[in-house]
Amino acid sequence: KAGVTQTPRYLIKTRGQQVTLSCSPISGHRSVSWYQQTPGQGLQFLFEYFSETQRNKGNFPGRFSGRQFSNSRSEMNVSTLELGDSALYLCASSPRQGITEAFFGQGTRLTVV
Amino acid sequence: DAKTTQPTSMDCAEGRAANLPCNHSTISGNEYVYWYRQIHSQGPQYIIHGLKNNETNEMASLIITEDRKSSTLILPHATLRDTAVYYCIVRPTTISLGFYFGTGTSLTVIP
């Protein structure tokens, strides 16, 4: 079956703009998590959605938000972009919450100039 | 979540077994050990996870010590495509804040 699909793969934005990234989980998976990866901070957990509700959130400012739709697809939004938001944004899907492995997409490479 | 300690880097000859250690001395009874790897510029790939018994799948084996304070991921016959950063993560069975990835071990498989 198809893996986790993230779009777009690459994105260039200007400081102050906002951006929306999309994630389509593996069919049948209901949990979607988002991560930010930068060279300095490594992989950091942003938030997790299950059944259209945000269940957990990492230590990121309110400029980072997300949502999940009834078909489990998820979007994350970053408003008022800063140079430091340049990163690889990864989405992971799991069949459920709790004790389960997560399957990652290839990520969206965001560059803020 | 409990912290993990891994060597920064390791080399392994192609065709030999790669043994990647992980220390998680503060692990608690309800925490699982997960292993992921990340090949450059790709999303992390799930390898294996376990609680206290040794586990094996088509990719690797996971050996967890009896006291659960450390574990070893074994890639039985390393290939050049196994060159990646390997992350050892402990995660509670209850709902937690995602997976916390540390710095991992950069494994280089040498021809």
pLDDT 10s digits, A14-65 = 999 999 999 999 999 999 999 999 988 889 999 999 889 998 888 999 999 9
SS3 call for A72: coil
Closest partner CB to B97 (pick from A56, A101, A104): A56
Sign of CA dihedral A69, A4, B37, A102: positive
CA distance B91 to chain A (A): 8
**Confidence check: pLDDT of B96 > 70:** no
Q: What is the pLDDT of residue A101?
A: 83
Q: Give the per-residue pLDDT at B91.
A: 82
DSSP assignment letter at A70: T
- SS3 of chain B: the string is CCCCECCCEEEEECCCCEEEEEECCCCCCCEEEEEEEECCCCCCEEEEEECCCCEECCCCEEEECCCCCEEEEEECCCCHHHCEEEEEEEEECCCCCCCCCCCCEEEEEEC
Whole-number Å distance between alpha carbons of A38 and A59: 15
As a whole number, mean pLDDT of residues A82-97 equals 91
Please report where in the chains the tokens 């200007």 appear, as a residue.
A14
In this complex, do B97 and A101 lie within 8 Å of one another by their Cβ atoms?
no
Higher pLDDT, A11 or B103: A11
Chain B residues in contact with A57 (beta carbon < 8 A): 97
Among left, alpha and beta (phi > 0; psi -120 to 50; other), residue A84 is alpha
For residues A25 and A68, is the Cβ–Cβ distance under 8 A?
no
More confident site: A89 or A94: A89
Average pLDDT over residues B7-23: 97
Which residue on chain A is closest to B40 by alpha carbon? A106
Q: Among the listed ranges A91-100, B29-38, B62-71, B74-83, which one has the minimum average pLDDT value? A: A91-100
Q: Is the pLDDT of residue A71 over 90?
A: yes
Does the structure show a pLDDT above 70 at A99?
no
Mean pLDDT of chain B: 91
Cβ-contact B99, B33 below 8 angstroms: no
Q: Judged by CB atoms within 8 Å, which residues 19-78 of B form the interface with A?
A: 32, 34, 41-46, 49
Adjacent-strand bridge partners of B86: B37, B105
Which one of B32, B43, B87 has the shortest CB-CB distance to A106? B43
The verdict on a CB contact (< 8 Å) between A90 and B44 is yes
Please tell me the distance from the alpha carbon of residue A24 to that of residue B87, in angstroms, as a whole number.
24
Q: Which of A4, A42, A99 sits opposite B101 (nearest CB)?
A: A42
User: Residue A57's Cα: distance from chain center in Å?
Assistant: 12
